[in-house]
Each structure stands twice: as structure tokens, then as C-alpha cells.
Chain A
Amino acid sequence: MRPGGAAGATGGAVGTPLNLLEVRGLTVTYLTQTAPLPTLDKVDLDVATGECVGLFGESGAGKTTLALALLRLLPRTATVSGSVHLDGVDVTNTTWGRLRALRWKAASIVFQGATQALNPVQRVGGQIEEPILLHERSSGTIARSRAAALLRQVGLPPAAAGAYPHELSGGERQRALIAMALACDPRLVVADEPTTALDTVRQAQILDLITGLVTGHGRAMLLISHDLRLLSSTCDRIAVMHAGRIVEEGTPAEVCAGGRHPQTRALLTAHTRIRALRHRHRPRPPSPAGHVGVPVLAADDLVVIHPARRGRNVRAVDGVRLDLAAGEIVAVVGESGCGKTTLARALVGMHPPTGGEIRVDGVPLRPTGPWLRAHRRRVQLVLQDPGSALDPRHTVYDAVAEGLRIHRLRPPGGEPAAVAAALVRAGLQAPETFFGRYPQELSGGLRQRVVIAGALILQPRVLIADEPVSSLDAAARADVLTLLLDLRDRSGLAALVISHDLELAWSIADRVAVMYLGRIIEVGPAQQVLGSPAHPYTAALLAAMPQPFTPLAATLDGEPPRTSSLPGGCRFHPRCPVLLTGTADAAGIGHACRTVEPEPLPAVGPAVACHYAAAEHRS
């Protein structure tokens, strides 16, 4: 019998039927250098055996702190009051030895970032065996066979045990992390945003897997997410968290029905729905004749190859044609690892292209110092995490003025006036009040505005934004997106937005390009590509989007192949539902799918790289 089970039985004998997890009045305050930071405020939460509870809230609401507090994993700077009863044991004041026995055995955690949660220098198999060896003192052979069984359960090949984390894809790493969480047969699994970094197809796969393995085996789960639709489709009960408090709790239907608490309503309406025209912000009518004049930024048959030490080179970007006109926002969407970040870095001149050409205003970019320098005044990059994109030792003023100083520009009105003007353009009113502040003192949204101001001061023609809002909460997100639209409308700034978030593309992009394994497979006006997708891959991405109350559907199987070993024919064909269901063969083009690579798409579109879609279109 499990030690946890014995404790639970004792609790029952006293006459108080203890839940598996009982959190009572949990309050957590972090001590910081300046002022104490209250993070959790009298949180009450119950999870019964076999139940799946969702914890919903935007970033900064205290969800992760709660998850860590359940196993007393908080840093020493946190002061904790209240109680956390896990399997009848009060985690907050039990002995160290008892706590160690509880960790992973009574409850385990699937952490947010699979990349950081796995040890990069240890094989995956060893990391799964580690908790087994620690808790059960079983022999290495038993632990190894258990690890192999776990890997099979999460759908990984046995060879994955011998792989290092970097040899697995993002989805495979997340699966390995789930295998690790299940290693000691825990009674409660806490999953902290297990799918945030994944594309919709993999998200559905992983959630499907985790709910099947956890709730199907009498275990309980606490699923933490900022996506209410996702929780409503998987959980029995949802708790809504805001500013460190649980503001509402109920069944998915109750919570989603509008929510009694105003905060829930606000969070609910923040969701974008694809195909809902009112969620498209200030769409521009697509110009039917394509572009007029020379595009500001053009990529022509761009190829970027990462040389590999052993094995075959990785073709991260494999023949991309893309145009960007003045005053246009183009979104490049695709799963992680599809090459979109490499494309962005090549376009700003950070990564020398292996082949093809990049043109700014029709002038080809040459990879030499002065050319690159001039290029960088016209094309600017906005990075994903504004926290690390600013040097913590530079004030806002220095950060924004950096571009001017690098190019030794003396703006006519003087440097302070130019910095102030750039901050105002980036939507920061009363810019002088920001001059002396450090990025650490600003919120995420304000920091991203400072980054954008630093880019705008050089008066670029194009902004390339790599996941510009993925680390921001809903309100800051909307702010930054509105800013991009303002810049487009007022100054005709073109923007290329790189994202794995289809909703983001729907809300602001004029055109959308879908990237798969280094190539653009569908491109066209946002409403067309996302509204009525022609490529089966685009359709699968869209169909896997979480819908309220509908079980998630993994619309594709398996993982994309490595770009170092591309399949022959269409690069999507091994996973293509049209081919796998026999529809393509019935139409008589299955052979073409397997053997003929579709032509690279024209730069503007609308176009689709799919034999089946092309045949459909013709008929």
C-alpha cells in the first residue's frame, strides 16, 4: 500500500473526509529588495481523487506560485501562511524527510518549459529513472524497464530513452516530461501550462495524452492555463484566479456562461475567435491587383542552412519567397522549429543567407559591413521577450538613443527631443518621465514599447517582430498590437509578425503566410488563409484550436520530420490527412504527393503548395 494511502485512511477515520488536495487560506508573499510582493491571498482550493480541476488566470495572477507552493518548492524569499494538505499531510509544516517522500510520489509537476525542465547533459531515460530510483530503491534494471514502459505510454519510441533533450522536438520533450511526472505513479499531477509553447496540433495531442493518462487511472489533475476554452474542454471544474485570489469557481459551463465575477468576463472577452470578423482589428481591403510598385522588403528564394557537425545540414529556411509592401502587416505562422525565427533573423541581416536574395526597396542586400549597417536602419527587429531585450544596466533613455549613437546621427532637434518623439510614437505619453528609469522598473507592455521606440528612432521602413506579444498578458498584448496597427496606418510602416499564434495573425495581419519545415506552404489574405484554408496543414492547425466544451481533437498524428532528412515529394505528405485517408489517391494525385515537390509559392499569393488543393481548384 502506498504511504499516502495510509495517511488518507487515517484522515477518514477521524470523520473528516479529506480531499486529496486541500488548500486553505494559503497566502504567499515574496520579499524583494524594495517592498514585499503579495502573490497569493487566502487561496482555498480542493481537488478530489479522480478529478480534473482547471486553474485559470492571466500571467502574473499567481498560478505558478500556487503550483510550487503545493510541494513547498518556493524560494526562500517567500513567506507562506495557511495550509496545504496533500494526501492528509500538511505540506507547509511537515518534516523535511516526509516532504521528500511526498514530492513526486503524492504529487508531481509537469513544468511549463520542457526545454528548461530537462537536464541538457543527461539522457532522457536516466531522467525518468531518477525519481523511481530515489523513491522506490528499486534496482537499475527495474527502473529501466519502468522508464521504457512510461515512454511507450506517452507515445515515444524506446530509442528516446537514449536521446539527449536537444535531440527531441518540443512536443517530444513535453511527452518525456509527462513520462517523468508519472514515474512514481503520483496521486496528483499538476500541469503548469504544459502546452503554451506548442502549436495547436501538438497542444491537442499532448492534452489528449495527459488527460487520458491521469484521469483515466484514478489520478487527479490540476491543469493550469491562461486559455479558458482549453480548460473548459478538459476539466470537471474551473477555478478563476485574479491578482492572487480565487475569484470564482464552478463547472466549465458556469464559468464560461459569462462568469459572475467581472474579472472572469473581462478575461473571457479577451479571447479572439478566428473567423469572427469583429475580432479583426481595422482590416484593410485586400488589393486585388496584388502589390503596386516595389515591395519594401522582399525575400527571393531565400535559403538558410545551419551546418551540422555530424549528420546532414539543417535546411532551416528552404526557398522562401515573400514580399512586404509599405503599410502592410504580414504574419508568418507555423509551429516551433519550422524555421520562422531563422527567416526573421536572416531578413534583418543577423544570419547570412546560404542562397537567394533579400531586397529592401528593390536594392539587394550584400553581406558586408556598410551595407548591413544601412540595412539595419531600414529594417528593425522587435524581440519576443522585452525583459531580456533591454540591457538592465541602461536607462530607458540610453536604450532608445542607442540606435542614434551607433549610427552617429545628430537629429536636428537634438537627441533628447528625438528620444522623446520616438517614445511618443511608441505610445508612451509624458516621455520625459521615462528617461531615467530602468527596464526592470517597467511592466512587460511598457518594456515592449521601449523596445519599439528604440527601433522607431532610426525611422525604419519595416519592423520584424518575432513573437512580439507572447510573453505579455492580455491587456499589454492588446496595447502592443494596437500600436503596431497605429504605426501601419499613420506612418505606413510595414511589419512582419512571426508567431505560432493563429489568433494573433487573425486579429492584426493583412496577409498570412503559413510555414512548414522551412518553406511557405500557403500564403494569401488573412481572411482567406485562416477563414477558408486550402492547404491540409493549415486546415489541421485551425481545426485543432481549442473550442469551448468540445474535446480537443488532435488533427494530425506524429511529429514533423527533421529538416535534415526531408521526405521526398511534398514535405507534408507523411502526415497529410488528405493522403492518409486515401482522398488524394482517389483523386489520382497520390503519386504526385509522394514524389513531386510542389513549386515554391509566389511572393504575394494567394497561393497554396498542395497538389490536391491545386487539382481541386482546377476542377
Chain B
Amino acid sequence: MTAGRAMRRAAGRVDARGRVAVAVIGAYLVLAIAAPLLITPADLSAVGAPGAPHLPPSARFPLGTDVYGRSMLAVTVWGTRVSLTVGLSATAVAIGVGAVAGIVAGHFRGRLVAVLMHVTDWFLAMPTLVLAAVLTGVLRPGAGPVVLAIGLTSWPATARLVRAQTLVVEAQPHVDRAKVLGAGHWHVIRHHVLAAVAPLIVVQASLTVSAAVLTEATLAFLGQADPIVVSWGTTLQQARDAGSVSAGHWWILFPPGAAIVVLGLAFTECGRAVQRALRVGPWEHP
């Protein structure tokens, strides 16, 4: 398919910065998948923790122990799973809804489309954190409401961008030509619009993951996540509640914080690199 071909050609043009970012994301993914092989449930038990609380880094616990006495290394590695799961599934929701809404709004005309764009604006105005707080309050706490909240508030940006690009493509004579050849909506969307919009979607997806990871950590830090599930945000929240900041227990605060920053940066850089490779949107001049 033409969209795939364009993406493959672009992949060859990704620069060194982008390759580093992709490697970092790959490392996170490997860690998240391999985590159950390296860490047993006993390592993460808050009740039967392997060590004493608040131990500084040592040979046994290279990153020290957290407020319950668990190894910070194990906690941080395990936290990757939640961050990536929530980040990627929220992005899937946001990009899926956004791309479909954007293409539909760009391709079709009429009253329904106008309504759709108003709905988009309405969601655009909705604050993520407040919606998430409400959803977690109404539903049971866990990853589901967080994914839903991030997904529901991130799709309008994608929808707007995709709609704009769709309008640009459809104004071009080659779409007229396809219509004269007899093409229906589905053919125009699949063979002409999608190929032109795909790069934009990839860039947007990569940037959305980074935002979603940050939002997930923020929500957990604010206590809107399931406290039993080990994640970077909850670890930070528990550390703050236990007074780690004033006690100077930096080893509890630093690993999850750094993990969030590096993962967020990696996805942002990856998105920018694809953008540069495809020359879509405002890329940076060298």
C-alpha cells in the first residue's frame, strides 16, 4: 500500500537523534516486557518487603529502598509497564478517534460534519486532569479511567490536524481525477487521503505518547490511580506522603522522575525525527 511505502522511505531518512530516541524507546519496551522474568511478586510486596525502608543505595539495593523497603530498582523497572501500557493505549484511543474524526470531517460535507467539529471543540476545551479526577471518582480506580480520560481529551488536537491535511489533499486535482475515474468515498480516503495523512498521524502519535506518559504520572502523583499498582507516579506520591523530600531521600525521588523524563523526551524526539524525515509540519531548520 502506498501509505506503507511512504513510511518505509521515510524510515531510511531518520537522523541520528531520531535513531537514539528509537533505541531508548526500544530499551524501555524490552524492560517492560522482561520485567516479570526479573522481578518476583515478593519483591514488590509492600507488606513482606525484602529490605528496611529508606535504605540508601548499596550493593544489595543499587538504588536503595522505597518507603516500604522494596528495591527501588525493581519498583522503577516495574513502573515502566504501567507507564507504557497507559501511554500507548491512551494514544491508541486518541489517535484512533482523532484520525477517523479528522478524515470524516475533512472528506464529507454537511450538517453532521459541522456538529462533529463542534463536538471536537467541546472536547478540546475539556481539562484532562479534572476529567480524569471525575472519571476515577465515578469508576473504580485503575488504568481504565486514566486511559479513557487521556484518550478523550487528546483526540481533538489530532482530529483538527488530520482534518486540515485532508482538506489540503482533497483540494488537489489528483483527487478530482480519481473521482472522474469513478472513485467513491472509500477509494479516495484509502488511496489518496490516508497516504497523505499517515505521516502526520505517526508524528502526532509519537508526541501524544509522551504527553500521555506525563499525564499518567501526574494523575498517579495526585492520587488518582490505584495505589496497589506499582507505577512511577504512585511511587513519587508515596515518597512525598512519607516525607522523603524533607528527609533528603533522593534515591526514592530520582529514579522514577528520571525514567519519566527520559521516556517522555524519547517519544518527543522520535516524533520530531519522523517529522523532519517526512518534511511535514514545522520542522526545525538545521
Binary interface encoding of chain A residues 3-24 relative to chain B, with 1 for a CB under 8 A from any of its CBs, else 0:
0000000000000000000000
If the complex has contacts A391-B195, A393-B5, are A406 and B178 also in contact, measured as CB distance less than 8 A? yes
A377 CB-CB contact with B under 8 Å: yes
CA distance A384 to B173 in the complex (A): 9
Closest-by-CB residue of B relative to A380 is B180
Out of A350, A384, A398, name the residue touching B180 (CB < 8 Å). A350
Q: B118 an interface residue at 8 Å Cβ cutoff? A: no
B240 interfacial contact with A, CB 8 Å: no
CB < 8 Å A-B pair total: 67
Chain A interface (Cβ within 8 Å of chain B)?
348-350, 369, 372-373, 376-377, 380-381, 383-385, 388-391, 393-394, 398, 402-403, 405-407, 451, 454-455, 458
Is B181 a contact of A376 with CB atoms below 8 Å?
yes
Q: Which of B174, B179, B181, B192 makes the CB contact (< 8 A) with A388?
A: B174
Most-contacted residue by chain A among B2, B6, B177, B195 (CB, 10 A): B177
CA distance A557 to B174 in the complex (A): 38
B interface residues with partner A (beta carbon < 8 Å): 2-3, 5-6, 172-174, 176-184, 187, 191-192, 195-196
In the complex formed, the residue of B with least CB distance to A349 is: B180
A381 in contact with B6 (CB, 8 Å): no
Residues of chain A lying within 8 A (CB to CB) of residue B192? 391
CB-based contact A383/B173 at 8 Å: yes
Report B282 CB to chain A, min CB distance, Å: 16
Instruction: Find out whether the CB atom of A350 lies under 8 angstroms from the CB atom of B176.
Output: yes
Residue of A nearest to B178 (CB): A402
17 sampled A-B residue pairs with Cβ under 8 A: A350-B176, A376-B180, A380-B180, A381-B176, A384-B173, A385-B173, A388-B172, A388-B173, A388-B174, A391-B178, A391-B195, A393-B2, A393-B5, A393-B6, A402-B181, A403-B181, A406-B187
Give the most central of A398, A406, A451, A458: most B CB within 10 Å: A406
CA–CA, A406 and B183, complex, Å: 6
Residues of A within 8 A of B2 (CB): 391, 393-394, 398
Task: Kindly identify which residue among B6, B176, B182, B195 contacts A406, using a CB–CB cutoff of 8 Å.
Answer: B182
Known interface pairs A389-B174, A391-B2, A402-B183; 14 further A-B residue pairs with C-beta atoms within 8 A, sorted by A's residue number: A348-B180, A350-B176, A350-B179, A372-B182, A373-B184, A376-B180, A380-B180, A383-B176, A389-B173, A389-B177, A390-B177, A393-B3, A394-B191, A451-B177
Nearest CB of A to B194, in Å: 10
A405 partner residues in chain B, CB cutoff 8 A: 187
Complex: how many Å from CA A376 to CA B178? 10
Question: What separation, in Å, do the CA atoms of A185 and B173 have in the docked complex?
Answer: 40
Query: A535: shortest Cβ distance to chain B, in Å?
Result: 32
Chain A residue with Cβ nearest B179: A350
Chain A hits for B5, CB < 8 A? 393
Q: Which residues of A contact B196 (CB under 8 A)?
A: 393
Residues of A within 8 A of B183 (CB): 402, 406
Within 8 Å by CB of A407, from B173, B179, B182, B195, lies B182
Question: How many Å from the CB of A45 to the closest CB on chain B?
Answer: 33
- How far is it, in angstroms, between the C-alpha of A599 and the C-alpha of B196 when the chains are bound? 49
- Measured between alpha carbons, how far is A403 from B176 in the docked complex, in Å? 13
Task: Name the A residues within 8 Å of B172 (CB-CB).
Answer: 388
Bound Cα distance from A388 to B191, whole angstroms: 16
Q: B182 and A454: CB pair below 8 A? A: no
Expressed in whole angstroms, the Cα–Cα distance for A560 and B149 within the complex equals: 59
Top 6 nearest A-B pairs (CB, nearest first) are A376-B182, A403-B181, A381-B180, A391-B174, A389-B173, A388-B173
Nearest A-chain residue to B169, judged by Cβ: A391
Chain B residue with the shortest CB-CB distance to A457? B181
In the bound complex, CA of A576 to CA of B70 (Å): 96
| Given A393-B195, A406-B187, A458-B181 contact (CB < 8 Å) | yes
What residues of A have a CB within 8 angstroms of the CB of B6 in the complex? 393
Q: How far is the CA of A137 from the CA of B177 in the complex (A)?
A: 50
